[in-house]
Amino acid sequence: METLSSIWQGTLNLEALNTLNQGSLGQNMGIVFTEMGNNFLVATMPVNEKTKQPFGLLHGGASVALAETMGSVATWCCVNRELFIGVGIEINANHIKAVLSGYVKGVCKPINISGKLHIWEIKLFNEANELCCISRFTCMVVAKGRF
């Protein structure tokens, strides 16, 4: 069996990824990174009063916020974190199946991570492991402090 080399730069762990969410939208929505492989990230988000729309379903915007959080963090993991960050420049999402309760799990994998534009595919699954949303996120690598 072939061993994949990691796309991530330097030493990383789930604690470091979850620390990024402190004091941010990710923390407010309950996003937690739960797994990190050589070329993917997994995070969960509860389906509750903070993430539902008025009709009791997971809000599409919450799904997109999870996807963008995961893609931005994934880009941050791929670059020299002393010098660069990633900022979202485009995202789309197809909402496939309604989610009423529990949690959703996002799986983020690269489509292209060369140069200054990183493109990520983020799939969201319900607790029955059914695909609920698929998103494509484009992130631009920029120098830290540019803003």
DSSP string, 122-134: EEEE-TT--EEEE
Active site residues: 68
In whole angstroms, what is the distance from residue 136 CA to residue 147 CA?
Answer: 25
The count of other CB atoms within 10 Å of the CB of residue 22 is 8
- The span from the first CA to the last CA of the chain, in angstroms, equals 45
Closest CA to 78 of 17, 1, 30, 15: 17
Phi first, then psi: give them for residue 78, nearest 5 degrees: -95, -10
